[in-house]
Amino acid sequence: MAVAYTIDPERRLIYNRISGPVIRGVLDVVREANIRDARFDATFDIILDITDADVRGLRTADVVNRAQRNDWASGARRVLVTSTPEQFGLGRLFQSHRTLVDGNAKIFICSSMSAALDWLGVVDFVPSDLVVVEETDDNR
């Protein structure tokens, strides 16, 4: 599993990428890394790119628990970029539970970065200078 991110203050955007086998607690690893970064702003929009992630290791409870907690401002928009039906399904699970907690949640699930950026109205963004948070072969 590998977790990496970048924060682009100019575009008011946080980009997170998870790849490889996803282990329990990875969503908290991403959250903590973002919050600890000096560039973090709770009003920034967020992209979570899991197109290269194997999400079979995530439990429904992991996604539901993450959806019930919030460290971002209610106006922050979230995009989940997926490439498999399993990823999309987990995204819908998160979206449904987050909407139950916050009826104003703005969450978009798509299958490409270009669709994600279009929905956010962001131009000329290419994820670069990624900070690697965790990289492991351990599938706990």
**pLDDT, position 72:** 81
> Using an 8 Å Cβ cutoff, are 130 and 30 in contact?
no
Q: Write down how long the chain is.
A: 140
**pLDDT, position 135:** 63
- Average per-residue pLDDT for the chain: 90
- Please tell me the distance from the alpha carbon of residue 66 to that of residue 78, in angstroms, as a whole number: 13
Q: Please state the pTM of the whole predicted model.
A: 0.90
| DSSP secondary structure letter of residue 22 | P
Quick check: 55 pLDDT over 70?
A: yes
All domains in the chain, ordered by first residue: 2-135 (3.30.750.24)
Q: Where are the alpha helices (DSSP H) in the chain?
A: 26-36, 60-68, 85-101, 113-120
**pLDDT, position 65:** 87
Quick check: 138 pLDDT over 70?
A: no
Please give the single-letter amino acid code of residue 100.
L
Task: State what percent of residues in the chain have pLDDT above 70.
Answer: 95
